[in-house]
Amino acid sequence: MRYSVLAPGKRLRPALCVLVGEMLGAERRQVLPSACALEMVHAFSLIHDDLPAMDDDELRRGRPTSHVAFGEAVAILAGDALACLAFETVARETPDKDLVPELVCELGRAVGTRGMIGGQILDLAAEGRPPDLDLVRAIHVRKTAALIRAASLMGAISARADLAVRETCARYGETMGLAFQVADDLLDETSTPEALGKSTRKDLERGKLTWPACAGLEASRKMAGALAEEAAQTIRPLDKNGDLAALARFVVARTF
Ligand code: IPE
Ligand code: IPE
Ligand code: MG
Ligand code: MG
Ligand code: MG
């Protein structure tokens, strides 16, 4: 569990949660349990995503994947245990106990059948299917954008933001999350294992239904940029110092 969750990753989801929470007036200690839980869930999703039964990858965050290092059984169980520890952490460590049910509910929704796991099911089922932009959007919204949406929303909940503000933060997170996965698809085709810390050119090989597979590289770059701008516009009324607009632009300009 430590091997995967403490490995060098971008920490996008916890950073987003903390940025949104602090922007809306929460103290860091009020958001940190949610931020840690988001990274635990994310690490769980990566461990299982890399398993031979799923994407069958051997490199993650610049290191051998969990199942390569420890065997499949331990990798499956480390993922399961990280998922459980995430919910335990929110429930036990969140200082504002009255917010726990809502935080747990939003995290669960983002991970479950209508979120990351549902998206992973669609992703696997779509392997080898002909280009279909509506389907690829449905996959990306669930497998990736749902958790990034939850990161932003959990920051807003931790700050006791009103419903309209929560809705704006959720929409910002979801739009940025979709941009993030389009950028991930592009990097798989255009980057290197040295830069990314994971293998590249795997999506084509496995017949994954990605944005570039459906729309081509150039249109995918445009789409990612347009989504990042849409996210930045969405959050503008709340984004006093421009950090969240900068984060949205980073997710599509990144090279790792
Ligand atoms: C990779 O996520 C998996 C996707 C959802 C595309 P990240 O690109 O955030 O991975 P780390 O956390 O930096 O390793
Ligand atoms: C994975 O998408 C999304 C997850 C829920 C982990 P990918 O399969 O494209 O992620 P990478 O490229 O392996 O990081
Ligand atoms: Mg995958
Ligand atoms: Mg993968
Ligand atoms: Mg990928």
pTM over 0.95: yes
Write phi, then psi, for 63 (nearest 5 degrees).
Answer: -130, 165
CA of 25 to the centre of ligand 2 (A): 32
Q: How many angstroms is it from 7 CA to the middle of ligand 5?
A: 18
At 50 the three-state DSSP class reads coil
- Find residue 60's DSSP bridge partners: 63
**Res 219: pLDDT:** 98
256 residues of the chain, pLDDT tens digit each: 999 999 999 999 999 999 999 999 999 999 999 999 999 999 999 999 999 999 999 999 999 999 999 999 999 999 999 999 999 999 999 999 999 999 999 999 999 999 999 999 999 999 999 999 999 999 999 999 999 999 999 999 999 999 999 999 999 999 999 999 999 999 999 999 999 999 999 999 999 999 999 999 999 999 999 999 999 999 999 999 999 999 999 999 999 9
- For residue 116, which atom of ligand 2 is closest to its CA? 5
Please give the pLDDT value at position 246: 98
With a 6 Å cutoff on the Cβ, whether 12 touches ligand 1 is yes
Spatial contact of 231 and 16, defined as CB atoms under 8 Å apart: no
Determine the distance separating the centroid of ligand 3 and the alpha carbon of 68, expressed in angstroms. Answer: 17
Two tokens, residue 104? 């747990």
The whole-number pLDDT of residue 113 equals 98
Q: How far is CA 221 from CA 33, 133, 180, in A?
A: 35, 15, 11
First vs last C-alpha separation in the chain: 23
Amino acid at 182: V
Residue 141 is predicted with a pLDDT of 98
Ramachandran region of residue 132, left (φ > 0), alpha (ψ -120 to 50) or beta? beta
Question: Which of 161, 211, 151, 176 lies closest to 17, judged by CA?
Answer: 151
pLDDT of the residue at 140: 98
The reported pLDDT for the residue numbered 159 is 98
The pLDDT of residue 131 is 97
